[in-house]
Structure 1
Amino acid sequence: MSAPVATKPLPSPPPRRWSVPVLLLGLAVLSVASFVEVGLDGARLLSADAARRMGAFLGELAHPALDPGFLGRLLKATLETLAMSAVGTLLAALAGLLLALPASRVPGRPPGWWRAPTRWLLNVLRSIPELVWAALLLISAGLGPLAGTLALALHTTGVLGRLFAEALENAPDGPALALRVPGVPRGRVFLYATLPQALPQLMSYTLYRWENNIRAAAVLGVVGGGGLGQMLSFHMGLFHMRETGTILLATIVLVAAVDLLSSLVRRVLNP
């Protein structure tokens, strides 16, 4: 007579997890509450009257103004916007790199006391929008591109400083360690080991922020920051839709040109 075969007990069902349903329910409630708070009126948005007005608006934008005098002013404003974004980004890259050094952690060494205050400073710089910086600087620098350039530089310093610090921290430590062991000074270790490895990423971040600053420089004209934004604010306020369309077209062309240049530089740095 054969011995009875022992049967394994059936595994107990896994405990039901309520976290996912509760999370989805919370997101659904939050989404509905957001729609209610915003006050979206779908019937009004999709009405025939709204479509007619939008069509007329787009029709005027589609026929840009080509007056020679206006185009001359537009070219000057375009070059001014390009200069504002380039100078603001360059100043921010230099200041961001200087602040990234104390804000980054050196592998194998405890962070210094200056790391936390520097990171707080970077947080403050990038937390304040460019429009607020420009409004504050208008008091001392006055109307024009100087206030807009400094506003871009201050905000972008906070952004690039944080990105640069993370790039330096993530750089491979092998070459730097090989130089630190024989007693090479810290400055030379940074110049000959850490910086060359992180430089392509630093350049990529800088070029990306330059593209963003082109668009931000166009917005700063709302508070008198000069460039295309100042022309856009003026003509939109007077409902000059043809001139507004030309300004938007110039902004698109400028952003596309900077984006093409950035892509070429990235291709050279990262073959």
Structure 2
Amino acid sequence: MKSSLPPAPSWRLSSIALMLGLCALVIVSFISLPMQWSAFFSREAVQSSVEFLHGFMPPDVSLPFLQKILLGIAETLSMSALGTLFAALAGVALGVLASGRLGRLARGVTRALLNVLRSIPELVWASVLLISAGLGPFAGTLALAAHTSGVLGRLFADAFENCPPLAEQTLRHNGVRPVAAFFYATVPQALPQMLSYTLYRWENNIRAAAILGVVGAGGLGQMLKYYLSLFQMQQAASVIVAMLLMVAAVDGLSFILRKMMTK
């Protein structure tokens, strides 16, 4: 007896047009950009890169400098943790408004605000906030919170909208107030997904906090800019290694926490 195979999926005209458009975009990108591969792989470029990287060796591992790096790591982690916490709290409030529970007008206005918040990069937020908050980690924390609020607010709103409405409707039909029904029925359903989003954004904020110091927002990024500007490459190499180890440790911790939540 021959096994009947499912019919092959049919290609829609819109799907074919989309694929052709993407292929054309890739081809135009390669044509329009000056990709100087011959200069990139030339002997002079390779020699210059090797000489530049040789200046980073060996990294500075003296005890006083390692103590400075530990302080920079603590400052970077504090910036990312507080920025993510502020963003998660703001994201819940904005997510409720953006999910349409207070009307279409509130939904449209809030989603427009979320688009603005997440469209502006952290470096731009930090550059603006440095004027009012001054140099240091406070401006970096606010910059991370502003950008991440837009991201988490949108993700939380989608999580609220995608929750099955039956549990909340049942509570409301039995006389429970809408706000109480929302927090007792919808929020518990969306909470695991919201925690996963928050942990993922914390990972991203670790990397962003390490870069925000370039504009004077404190942490390891500010140390890296300082030593690179003075051409103290060995100290800069130690800071770069500390960044890599910190990001790897946070990624591993976040992965373990997400695995624990999904069990």
State the TM-score, normalizing by the size of structure 1.
0.86
Q: Are 1:162 and 2:154 matched, yes or no?
A: yes
Match of 1:59 among 40, 44, 54: 54
In structure 2, stretches of 5+ residues that fail to align are: 1-11
CA separation in 2, counterparts of 1:210 and 1:174? 32
Contact 2:100 2:106 in 1 (8 A): no
CA separation in 1, counterparts of 2:179 and 2:66? 50
Match of 1:206 among 198, 206, 210: 198
Partner of 1:113: 105
Match of 1:89 among 74, 84, 89: 84
2:137 maps to amino acid = P
2:183 maps to amino acid = L
Contact 2:160 2:187 in 1 (8 A): yes
Match of 1:242 among 215, 230, 234: 234
Partner of 2:168: 176
Q: Percent identity?
A: 53
Q: Are 1:152 and 2:144 matched, yes or no?
A: yes
Q: Over aligned residues, Cα RMSD in angstroms?
A: 2.2
CA separation in 1, counterparts of 2:16 and 2:205? 42
CA separation in 2, counterparts of 1:28 and 1:267? 37
Alpha-carbon distance, 1:27 to partner = 5.0
TM alignment of 1:134-149, pairs within 5 A? 134-149=126-141
Partner of 1:232: 224
In structure 1, stretches of 5+ residues that fail to align are: 1-16
Alpha-carbon distance, 1:258 to partner = 1.5
Alpha-carbon distance, 1:254 to partner = 1.2
Partner of 1:72: 67
SS in structure 2 of the partner of residue 114 of structure 1: helix
CA separation in 2, counterparts of 1:35 and 1:241? 35
TM alignment of 1:20-39, pairs within 5 A? 27=22, 30-39=25-34
Alpha-carbon distance, 1:118 to partner = 0.5
Alpha-carbon distance, 1:267 to partner = 2.0
CA separation in 2, counterparts of 1:41 and 1:80? 40
Inter-CA distance 98–25: structure 2 relative to 1 (3 Å threshold): closer
The structure that has the greater radius of gyration is 1
Aligned pairs, number:
252
2:53 maps to amino acid = L
State the TM-score, normalizing by the size of structure 2.
0.88
Partner of 1:127: 119
Partner of 1:263: 255
Provide, for residues 10-60 of structure 1, a one-character-per-residue CA deviation record: whole Å limited to 9, x for no partner: xxxxxxx99888777765554454335432211110011111222233334
CA separation in 2, counterparts of 1:21 and 1:96? 38
Contact 1:57 1:241 in 2 (8 A): no
Inter-CA distance 21–105: structure 2 relative to 1 (3 Å threshold): closer
Alpha-carbon distance, 1:266 to partner = 1.4
The more displaced of 167-176 and 195-204 is 167-176
CA separation in 1, counterparts of 2:215 and 2:87? 21
Alpha-carbon distance, 1:236 to partner = 2.0
Inter-CA distance 89–23: structure 2 relative to 1 (3 Å threshold): closer
